[in-house]
Amino acid sequence: MILPRVGIIADDRLQQHMLQAAMAHFGFEVIVSADPSRMELIRDRGLSLDVWLIDINRDNDDELSDWLDELIHGPIPVLVGFEKAPPRGSTTLPRWQKRLYQKLKEVVPGKPLAGESAASLERLSAPVSAQPSRILLPKIFANLALTGKPADEVWVLGASLGGPGAVKNFLDALPAGLPVAFVYAQHIDCRFEETLSATIGRHSELKLCLFQEGRQLTHGDVLVAPITDEFGFEAEGRLVSTHHDWPGPYGPSIDQVILNVHRHFQARTGIILFSGMGNDGSEALTALPERQLPVWVQTPATCANASMPESALATGLVTFHGTPFQLANQLVNRLKNHWMNTHEPDTCQH
């Protein structure tokens, strides 16, 4: 896949860095990022770009005005002047990112930003010749009838480009009857929300479901996080809408899903980040006060787009990585061992 290509010219080094980070988050490839003093050298390189981002404060410099005027009247779209980026971790940063993203969508139409397409879902819907390999349910869970009971653990599954196929393989490998529920946060056009649920769940023994106010997550549930409306949890772990959009440029915000799940479930939270562009999810990892949570990622070499798991690995907080099947197998073993260590001996003597 050819990523949208961007050139950044900014005379404030911090602003330049924040624009670079935002471009990676949106799924752009930054071809050049420099101070305006290097513009003459850059112009001679004949760069092939989809958009220029220009943020300079020296309006009275005639030399700068000349090349800027030339860019503005050239064939490549130019965005000029940006409000100062808030600090990393600031509550206003997602809003700044969203405004920048909306501007980019206006001047770079039709470019593949960091969301999944309908075409990939169609490919996953095609008939298959064999049923997926499925891990056996551990014997300690066989007679417990856990399905329908409030979830002991809730794991966030985060993904963007390349994610649906990986998440489907992960869920297909899991047996019914495990003491766990999932919240699946996938960057995708809101028109395909229901299609995503039907496609990902068609071979799974788990129950994929859409958001419903007041619903309680139970063992075996896979809640597909709504694309447009942020949600949280209230008493007894019941779903509640916040009645506003997700922060940041994409819905759902994987960072915010992680934070909202952890706010209620605390140490009973797990996180797996799959294939995807950008770094959504990584900021939440560093913001969580709990440092003992299981944080796993799909091995980057197996991803269609590796930047999301690579960004998570860069935090130093990832505790396991593997293929979707290996992640599923690791989860089954972890749930079995945790159950054996925390429940009465007579429930796990087999």
Q: Nearest CA to 160 among 250, 276, 278?
A: 276
Whether cis (ω within 30° of 0) applies to the bond prior to 252 is yes
- Other C-beta atoms closer than 10 Å to the C-beta of 24 total 17
Geometric angle at alpha carbon 282, from 276 and 288, rounded to 5°: 145
Q: Which residues are catalytic?
A: 160, 187, 280
Give the whole-angstrom CA distance, residue 213 versus residue 328: 29
> What pairs with residue 183 in β-bridges?
156, 223
Joined together, the tokens standing for residue 133 give 């390999």
Residues 6+ apart with CB under 8 A from 1: 112, 161, 305
Start-to-end Cα distance in the chain: 49
The helix or strand, by DSSP H or E, that contains position 256, with its residue range, turns out to be helix 254-265
> What pairs with residue 322 in β-bridges?
298
Which backbone phi and psi does 37 adopt, to 5 degrees? -65, -20
> What pairs with residue 5 in β-bridges?
29
Give the whole-angstrom CA distance, residue 93 versus residue 248: 8
